[in-house]
Amino acid sequence: MSTIRNIALVTAAPLLLAAAGAAHPHGLSRATAADWTHLHIALLPVFPLLTVGLLVPLRRRPRPDLAGLATVVAWVSAFLYAAFYTGLDAVAGIAAGTAVEHAAGTASIGPLKYPLYDTGESLGQVGAYALVVAVVATAVALYPEHGARVLPGTVVLLVAGWSFRDSHIFWPRGVWTMLGFALGFALLTAGVARGGSLPLRARAERGALRAG
């Protein structure tokens, strides 16, 4: 039951973002500005929750070894993702939508929104790459104890993370990216749940003793 609960916990945010992506306006105009702004306000606390899919498998206290160092790197990278990707939503989402919504009827909206897009895109790129680093660090931290069981989820998460750099949650690729995160987090959580409590080397030594 704890595994099912954890899988539900780590997949909640990406599934919610996938559903939001299906309803996300395809562009920002005067007609879509209000919806654009309100959606990004609603999603502001959701995007950081993608990191739950990595923090749940890494909930143990770091040990003074490579796995412990990788755990700290994963935590820091997850924090950087949450901070900088929130900046993308705030600037290119809320600020740009508000500016376009309240622009004068005769004003050209391009000069209003494109500088905000550029700033938000720069912030989002930092966040997306930080999330990829967090995925790699998580795999390094978990591999000594759980072995190849962490690899399927890691591979799916790396593909989703790479797509996330420029897909956001826009339909269709952004929605598939969020579904990829959900699948990757579920696989990673299940792999950790099936892993033993002993590191690989200790399990190998125990197996050798039994064989002897």
pLDDT digits (tens, 9 = 90+) for 41-67: 999 999 999 999 999 999 888 888 999
What is the reported pLDDT for 1?
60
Residue 211 has pLDDT above 60, yes or no: no
CB environment 38-75: b (16+ within 10 A), e (fewer)? ebbeebeebbbbbbbbbbbbbeeebeeeebeebbebbb
What is the reported pLDDT for 59?
85
Distance CA 53, CA 150 (A): 13
What is the reported pLDDT for 107?
87
Averaged pLDDT of the chain = 91
Residue 133 has pLDDT above 50, yes or no: yes
What is the reported pLDDT for 155?
98
Nearest Cα to 154, choosing from 133, 128, 175, 178? 133
The model's pLDDT over 145-198, given as tens digits with 9 standing for 90+, comes to 999 999 999 999 999 999 999 999 999 999 999 999 999 999 999 999 875 444
The model's pLDDT over 88-101, given as tens digits with 9 standing for 90+, comes to 999 999 999 999 99
Q: HSE (CB half, 13 Å, CA atoms) of 2?
A: 5
Q: What is the band of 105 on the pLDDT scale with cuts at 50, 70, 90? A: confident
